[in-house]
Structure 1
């Protein structure tokens, strides 16, 4: 499968480009970016072509991997799908429900494969844990915390990200939490509460289709000593916690690319396809709406 990369930022540099170059079943064709100089530099590091025109790249590939801000990703993903290109996308799928729906519909109408890279769903330890808990009945409640210090350490490569500053932790790390909770507890039927905490921190309460409820705390402004992630489930089977993974970004992204290749070959949708990305976006948008409502 010939694949091109859209994007040249830190995530493209540290994750997407190395994974595409390493993958044994992908032919990494080239890079397009909104900054031509950055595209040339990244393409040169991996011995591929830098494209000035995104449509020229689309004409030369079977699939694209996207490492761009959500609004830009959504627009170009629709364009790529309509050109018949398979989609390896990042979270969040889009910045609005309308944008996310456009991606999901374009992929479905064009019958192209899509995989959204929710990291925990492709890490070996965490993916196995999620599958095991999804097969276990009787969960009563869950507590998820995704606490980052992107805006407090001063040295994060993502600190200059304009979309992260605009949308905050809800849209950046919220998708990670939802990607773990939904397959285990069922769809979030309702966001029953959403309140602000310090900085960009938000606290959510979700009611799930399986009968359980969950609480979710998200932040990109946590003190560095307080940063970390965790998910705890409690139910009839007892108490269990999401294992920590020592893998970096590249190994799980290689598995996401494997999933795209399989989905493209079989025609069977992956559980983390654009439709799932749309559902996550809908939940985030509902939480965002509640957060914007005046208290009282």
Structure 2
């Protein structure tokens, strides 16, 4: 399958481009970016064409991988779907429900497959743990902490305008939800939300299974305090999300595998654009709760 990359930033360079180039069932077919010089530089590393016109790239591929800010991603995903191109997208799918719905509607109308890259859902140990815990009945509550040091370290993502604007809720919130939802069920409501230090937010979630969860999200944690932790408690006792033995590139390769399988079988993956939309809806509800609280 010929796949083009939209985006040239740190995430595109560190994860997407190497994952696409190494995948044996994909042909990395080109790069487009909002900065043509960056697209030429990245494309040159992998000896693939750089495109100044996104529609020209869409005409030459079967699928696109998108490593762009969510609002830019949503617009281009709609455009790619309308051109009949399958979609390998990043989280969050969008930062507004309307944008997310537009992506889902375009993919459904065009009959194209989609996969949204929620990292933990494609890493071996976390993925296996999520599947195992989803089969266990009687979970009572969960605690999730996703604490990043993006704005308190030399992270290459610290200069990201959309992360500066939207903060941890929208950047690492999707990660936490991608783990909690398949285990505890959909979120019926967000009963409480409050701000912590800097961009830190605290959420209380009410799940369809009757369980509740608390979620703490931050991109401004002290580097020594950064990390991700999910703990479940219920009738079976306790369970903790394991760490991963691998980085983003192998996980992205599995996301590409999932897209290829969805294309071949016609069966949607659990992390398709519809799931990405649901995550956007929950995050939007949390954002509204934060606004309602007056904080």
TM-score, length-scaled by structure 1? 0.99
Cα deviation code 1:196-249 (max 9, x no counterpart): 000100000000001100000000000111111000000000001000112111
Query: Which residue of the partner structure matches residue 139 of structure 2?
Result: 139
Q: SS of the residue aligned with 2:150? A: coil
Deviation at residue 294 of structure 1 after TM alignment: 4.0
Q: How far, CA to CA, are the matches of 2:254 and 2:14 in structure 1?
A: 16
Q: Does 1:226 align with 2:225?
A: yes
Query: Which residue of the partner structure matches residue 126 of structure 1?
Result: 126
1:255-274 to 2 correspondences below 5 Å = 255-274=254-273
Query: Which residue of the partner structure matches residue 64 of structure 1?
Result: 64
Q: SS of the residue aligned with 2:162? A: helix
1:168-183 to 2 correspondences below 5 Å = 168-183=167-182
Cα deviation code 1:60-87 (max 9, x no counterpart): 0000000000000000000000000000
Q: Does 1:77 align with 2:77?
A: yes
TM-score, length-scaled by structure 2? 0.99
Q: Does 1:290 align with 2:289?
A: yes
Deviation at residue 265 of structure 1 after TM alignment: 0.8
Q: How far, CA to CA, are the matches of 2:201 and 2:127 in structure 1?
A: 25
Query: Which residue of the partner structure matches residue 111 of structure 1?
Result: 111
Q: SS of the residue aligned with 1:106? A: helix
Q: Any stretches of 5+ residues in structure 2 without a counterpart?
A: none
Q: SS of the residue aligned with 1:151? A: helix
Q: Does 1:35 align with 2:23?
A: no
Q: SS of the residue aligned with 1:281? A: helix
Moved over 3 A (4+): none
Query: Which residue of the partner structure matches residue 196 of structure 2?
Result: 197
Q: Does 1:275 align with 2:290?
A: no
Deviation at residue 292 of structure 1 after TM alignment: 1.2
How many residue pairs get aligned? The number is: 295
Q: How far, CA to CA, are the matches of 2:164 and 2:103 in structure 1?
A: 24
Cα deviation code 1:117-163 (max 9, x no counterpart): 0000000000000000000000000000000010011x100000000
